Structure 1
Amino acid sequence: NKALFWFSRHISHWGSISFYLACLLNICVAVFYPFGDDGDEILSSFNCVLLWAALSASIALLPVLPKPWGILFFLVFLILRAIYTMGLGPALLLLGTLFNKLVFLVSFVGNQGTFTRGYKAVVMDMLFIYHLGYAIICVLGLFVHEFFYSFLLFDLVIREETLLNVIKSVTRNGRSIILTAVLAIFLVYFFSIIGFLFLKDDFRMEVDEDEGTERVCDTLLMCIITVLNQGLRNGGGVGDILRRPSKEQEPLFAARVVYDLLFFFVVIIIVLNLIFGVIIDTFADLRSEKQRKEEILKTTCFICLERDKFDNKTVSFEEHIMYEHNMWHYLYFLVLVRVKDPTEYTGPESYVAQMIAEKNLEWFPRMRAMSLVSNEGDNEQNEMRLLQEKLESTVTLVAQLSAQLSELKEQMTEQRKHKQRQGLLGPPQNNH
């Protein structure tokens, strides 16, 4: 299907256009809502001429400017012209990203092959469900209320991996975070009971300047709500919203100090920082995992070996992954084997088709490369030549050492003979 192929081929463009249109929609809603209540949609004659000139210039420069920016400027001026010509309501109908999102869904189905895998695959495909929900929000924005368009901005989280990791840093260790939060609630409940029993009169909050303060711990439930709401949101804990005690007139002054300090250290410093620590550590792990993946992609061939195996070789790593083991060439070959008539297979194609049917990956040249194999013979010859040269130098050195040893042996023999002659010809000893 040529139309489906064309839509599927430009899926990245449809996704980008959907996001940019969502941003423009929300900018229009933020600037002009409520619609028709003022003269925002009426331009002066000078501004009208200026806008027409800008639109004409963007059309003229469309072939000259870089493709994304030229199209973006053209769309911005076209949308502004449509707003001030037709009004904001019809312009929003024109801008409604429903049609573009439907085109994106068609291209997504073409790329993923969703419907060819059956109804269950459609239901279980979370990305398809997400994009279908995106289209439903576009319908709600068109026919129910314009504020539904604000939900379209969350598409940025799916488009950017960094923001997605921020969400994953909370969800990956969600159980640890929930258990720590439950512990914090238990501690708040414990401190609420102590406050209700002994410090009930200190729980006074300012309402306004006229009415002064009111008691907020007459019941245990109100005490729990106050400690949970005010205690966790204040940097110093629950002590920031309680009445300041008098050192001389309060019999429980020391207990109040201990109560405030315990809540601050246990709940604010320890428990809340435990939650923040889990989130920060998870985000750091996700960032390290992303860096490791990028390092593997940069330093490892998709098919065979690592980058360092191609050091000091006739073929560089970049040439190898581009011409010898290009992963897209393997993909094209797989598609060729799937679509080609089996009666027209060559020998290698028949072998690969059989391996694919058996789900066997042995036909991939794992841990092998033709450029390295062709260089092995030259490397062996070079190694043999080096070994022969070392052997010859070793033989020469051994011969030199043997000559030196023979000469040294002769010298020692001469010295021994000389000492023996001196001993025989020496002066006789005197008899006493």
Structure 2
Amino acid sequence: CSAVPDYRYDKKTVLLVSLVLAILHNITTSCVFVSYFITNHPTFPKCRTWRPKKFLMSYEDNDEKKEDERKSNLEVKFFSIQTFWYILLLVCSLLGSFCYGYFFSLHLLHMAQFNQLVKHAIQVVSKNGRSLLWVSFYGIFVFYIYALISFAFYREIYPSTEGLYCTRMYECFVTILRHRLIVSEFEFPNPTGKPFIYYFYKALFDVPFIIIITIGLNIIFGIIVDTFSELRHNKWQVENDMHALCFICSRSSYDFEHNGDGFAKHVKEEHYLWSYLFFFIHLDETRPNDYTALYSHVSRQLEKKDCGFFPINRALSLQHEEDNSEIQL
């Protein structure tokens, strides 16, 4: 009997199963797309009509203008990368159903939304993306310069029979980029029957190129490794602050465990983080004309990015400790 398995299938059955899977994929992608818009409410840029300048403006119009100029930190723009990504997912799902099934493969990248390790790796690349981009540009410039030199003096060492083309400038550039970087940076074609002076100049051409490539790759790897270390240190510092410091008053958990009623009770009842957040949201949704004196003070502090209204290094549960310290002094 043959070792090769004989696959027999009904073409209509395969088409039916593919159609059902495509419909399920479209429904799932549509649900993800709609849930994103329902959850985030992406906003369109405001189109303001032209108005002639007025020398006198009422107090109410001035308040409305200030209210329109305020920006929410929770707002999601429609013209953003995240919104375009979800639109692209929906479009690729439809194209995969009606055109080619290869478009379905793009949805595998969406798994990064549910994996913290992949998010961390993407953040490493995107955080120093400008530095990596500039280093890559300089590398391309170096390859272009060496392609010019190869095109001018060493065109004959790139035989087309071996997949190396250098009859035109762009062919020489692509060959240098592929052969020197992707295939191998240490394997160079060397012709035979040339005098020693030819190989001497060839060495002066090849050795600096190897050094430049090695240094450039090490710079890129160094940037990535340093970014990983920086993000790891920041993550450790954030986790340490979350478990050992109060977000509101910045007092350590040691103070509340030894002098107060406990750190857990303090962050849940006395300085509850979400109570402050709910107050800020309430302040943002309230019209400036309806502000009280306290609301106006906090609003002005927030506009100045001043957190002076926070009880820094103060807590009611530690008031007894502070009173005893004053008595001892």
Query: What's the CA shift for 1:320?
Result: 1.5
2:273 corresponds to which residue? 327
The CA distance in 2 between the partners of 1:176 and 1:322, in whole Å, is 43
Of 251, 254, 263, which residue of structure 1 is paired with 2:200?
Answer: 254
1:87 corresponds to which residue? 17
TM-score (norm 2): 0.67
Query: What's the CA shift for 1:40?
Result: 9.3
The CA distance in 2 between the partners of 1:222 and 1:177, in whole Å, is 26
The CA distance in 2 between the partners of 1:125 and 1:270, in whole Å, is 36
* Aligned positions of 1:185-200 closer than 5 A: 185-200=140-155
Of 177, 183, 189, which residue of structure 1 is paired with 2:132?
Answer: 177
Corresponding pairs, count:
285
Which moves more between the two structures, 136-145 or 313-322? 136-145
The CA distance in 1 between the partners of 2:260 and 2:250, in whole Å, is 16
Mapped contact 2:164–2:175 kept (Cα < 8 A): no
2:210 corresponds to which residue? 264
Structure of greater relative contact order (alpha carbons < 8 Å, 6+ residues apart): 2
User: CA 1:332–1:254 in 2, change beyond 3 Å: closer, same or farther?
Assistant: closer
1:38 corresponds to which residue? 9
* Aligned positions of 1:18-417 closer than 5 A: 38-39=9-10, 87-96=17-26, 97-109=28-40, 114=42, 122-124=77-79, 126-204=81-159, 206-207=161-162, 216-237=165-186, 240-243=187-190, 245=192, 252-266=198-212, 268-307=213-252, 308-310=254-256, 312-332=258-278, 352-355=294-297, 358=300, 364-378=310-324, 383=328
User: CA 1:104–1:227 in 2, change beyond 3 Å: closer, same or farther?
Assistant: same
Query: What's the CA shift for 1:151?
Result: 1.8
The CA distance in 2 between the partners of 1:202 and 1:315, in whole Å, is 81
The CA distance in 1 between the partners of 2:11 and 2:269, in whole Å, is 59
3-state DSSP class of the match of 1:242?
A: coil
The CA distance in 1 between the partners of 2:203 and 2:228, in whole Å, is 37
Mapped contact 1:315–1:371 kept (Cα < 8 A): yes
The CA distance in 2 between the partners of 1:189 and 1:141, in whole Å, is 39
3-state DSSP class of the match of 1:87?
A: helix
TM-score (norm 1): 0.53
User: CA 1:129–1:353 in 2, change beyond 3 Å: closer, same or farther?
Assistant: farther
Q: Which has the higher helix share?
A: 1
User: CA 1:216–1:335 in 2, change beyond 3 Å: closer, same or farther?
Assistant: closer
3-state DSSP class of the match of 2:258?
A: coil
1:47 corresponds to which residue? none
User: CA 1:189–1:289 in 2, change beyond 3 Å: closer, same or farther?
Assistant: same
The CA distance in 2 between the partners of 1:114 and 1:200, in whole Å, is 56
3-state DSSP class of the match of 1:123?
A: coil
The CA distance in 1 between the partners of 2:185 and 2:311, in whole Å, is 64
3-state DSSP class of the match of 2:259?
A: coil
User: CA 1:254–1:333 in 2, change beyond 3 Å: closer, same or farther?
Assistant: closer
3-state DSSP class of the match of 2:139?
A: helix
The CA distance in 2 between the partners of 1:354 and 1:189, in whole Å, is 61
Query: What's the CA shift for 1:302?
Result: 1.8
Unaligned 5+ residue runs, structure 1?
1-36, 43-82, 208-213, 341-348, 385-432
Mapped contact 1:352–1:363 kept (Cα < 8 A): no
Query: What's the CA shift for 1:250?
Result: 5.4
3-state DSSP class of the match of 1:367?
A: coil
Question: CA offsets per residue over residues 28-59 of structure 1, 9 Å max, x none?
Answer: xxxxxxxxx935997xxxxxxxxxxxxxxxxx
2:62 corresponds to which residue? none
User: CA 1:129–1:302 in 2, change beyond 3 Å: closer, same or farther?
Assistant: farther
Mapped contact 1:105–1:132 kept (Cα < 8 A): no
Mapped contact 1:180–1:271 kept (Cα < 8 A): yes
Mapped contact 1:355–1:362 kept (Cα < 8 A): no
User: CA 1:281–1:337 in 2, change beyond 3 Å: closer, same or farther?
Assistant: closer
2:5 corresponds to which residue? none
The CA distance in 2 between the partners of 1:328 and 1:306, in whole Å, is 18
The CA distance in 1 between the partners of 2:176 and 2:151, in whole Å, is 11
Query: What's the CA shift for 1:301?
Result: 1.2
User: CA 1:301–1:140 in 2, change beyond 3 Å: closer, same or farther?
Assistant: farther
Query: What's the CA shift for 1:304?
Result: 0.7
User: CA 1:148–1:198 in 2, change beyond 3 Å: closer, same or farther?
Assistant: closer
The CA distance in 2 between the partners of 1:187 and 1:125, in whole Å, is 34
Unaligned 5+ residue runs, structure 2?
1-7, 48-74
The CA distance in 1 between the partners of 2:164 and 2:17, in whole Å, is 54
User: CA 1:337–1:284 in 2, change beyond 3 Å: closer, same or farther?
Assistant: closer
What amino acid is aligned across from residue 235 of structure 1 in structure 2?
S
Could you say what the CA RMSD is over the residues aligned between the two structures, in angstroms?
Answer: 4.0
